[in-house]
Chain A
Amino acid sequence: MTTRPLVGPDQVAAYIPQQAPFALIDTLYHCQPDEAWASLWVHPEHLMVQDGYLSEGGILESMAQAVALKAGYEARQQDAAPRIGFIAALKQAHIYQMVPVNHTLITHVEILLRAPDMLVVRTTSRYHEILVAHCEMRLFLEPEPEYVTLALIPTCHATH
């Protein structure tokens, strides 16, 4: 994936509600209504890193934030603020491989079901073509924030 990303690390904070030090996605490469590709460069000092690897929780959270980034990018296309989303359910999350620091975890998001305040997605993560994890997630989206909150979201906020 060498094409210019839709959202890069220096803009990502404007697209997702999660912020440093708990930001776990940094780039959006591709975004279509039913699928997206996003990635995280695993910083050695990230608080979800342990013993040189991104923790299992860090992998699952990166998947959830890939979905948040897709939703935030689509919201921005329509001049809306990103909505806070919570993981409501995880189903059949399998972790096969840990991701070492200084590597990039790439997540594919597939939308299975879209409702006004709920998304059901299938996520698959890899690094260097190695399967890291896959999972089915149900995310609950909070109601649209007021328009004024847009101004409060930093537009340029380093995540590393």
Chain B
Amino acid sequence: MQRTDYLLLGTFFTLDSQVQELDQLHLQVRLNSRHALYEGHFPSRPVVPGVCVLGMVKDVLQHHLSQRLLLRTCTSGKFLRPIDPFTMATLDLTVQYTPRNLLLDFVASIQHERHVLCRVMGCFQPYAT
């Protein structure tokens, strides 16, 4: 996949490191605190939009599997603390994925210095380009 195939990877965040353990990915990601969307979310109070966490998980899996994905379901998403891209620029992202029929189930969480900031689970649908 090309760089332009990603909505957020490469612009909103980048990957510092990635380790795979069976069906689980452990990544260290770096937020781009200068991304344009922070001008609007919110003016003078930058916070990572919760929906962008789902977008980050999607791009990480698209990149890892070299496969286009669509988010079909988020059965549960818990955003426990606002993520400030300036004070929490590097985050630990864990993504577990399991193929189920034609779908790809996922469970992901983001931590910063051992504090869990959010947890999301749901499924993606792979599609051909």
Query: Nearest-CB distance from B44 to chain A (Å)?
Result: 8
Q: Of A26-34, A52-60, A72-80, A124-132, which binds chain B?
A: A52-60
Kindly provide the distance from the CB of B94 to the nearest chain A CB, expressed in whole angstroms: 19
- A90 in the interface, Cβ–Cβ < 8 Å? yes
Interface size of B in residues (CB-CB distance below 8 Å): 31
Q: Label chain B's interface by main secondary structure.
A: mixed
9 smallest beta-carbon distances between A and B, as pairs: A22-B40, A90-B77, A57-B51, A56-B71, A87-B50, A19-B40, A93-B74, A22-B41, A57-B55
B contact residues around A84 at 8 Å (CB): 42, 45
Q: What residue in chain A is nearest B77 (Cβ atoms)?
A: A90
Contact check, B50 vs A86: say whether CB atoms are below 8 A apart: yes
Write out, one digit per residue, whether chain B residues 54-93 have a CB within 8 A of any chain A CB (1) or not (0): 1100100000000000111111111100100000000000
Q: How far is the CA of A48 from the CA of B71 in the complex (A)?
A: 14
Q: How far is the CA of A48 from the CA of B99 in the complex (A)?
A: 27
CB-defined contacts of B58 to chain A, threshold 8 Å: 56
B54 contacts which of A22, A50, A57, A89 (Cβ < 8 Å)? A57
Nearest chain A residue, comparing its CB with the CB of B71:
A56
Q: Decide: B41 and A18 in contact? CB cutoff 8 A.
A: yes
Q: Does A101 contact B (CB under 8 A)?
A: no
Task: Closest A residue to B45 by CB, please name it.
Answer: A84
- With contacts A88-B78, A93-B122 taken as known, whether A60 is within 8 angstroms of B54 at the C-beta atoms is yes
Given A55-B55, A56-B58, A20 contacting B40 (CB threshold 8 A) = yes
**Across the interface, do A21 and B37 meet the contact criterion of CB distance under 8 Å?**
yes
Binding site for A on B (CB under 8 A): 7, 36-43, 45, 47, 49-52, 54-55, 58, 70-79, 82, 120, 122
A18 and B47 contact, Cβ closer than 8 Å, known pairs A56-B70, A87-B77, A88-B78: no
Q: How far is the CA of A94 from the CA of B49 in the complex (A)?
A: 19
Bound together, the chains give a CA A61 to CA B7 distance in angstroms of 15
**Residues 88 to 106 of chain A near chain B (Cβ within 8 Å):** 88-95, 98
Taking CB atoms, residues of chain B closer than 8 Å to A86 are 47, 50, 79, 82
Knowing A22-B49, A50-B7, A57-B55 are in contact, say whether A89-B36 is a contact too (CB < 8 A).
Answer: no
Nearest CB to that of B82 among chain A residues? A86
Tell me the nearest residue of chain A to B41, going by C-beta: A22
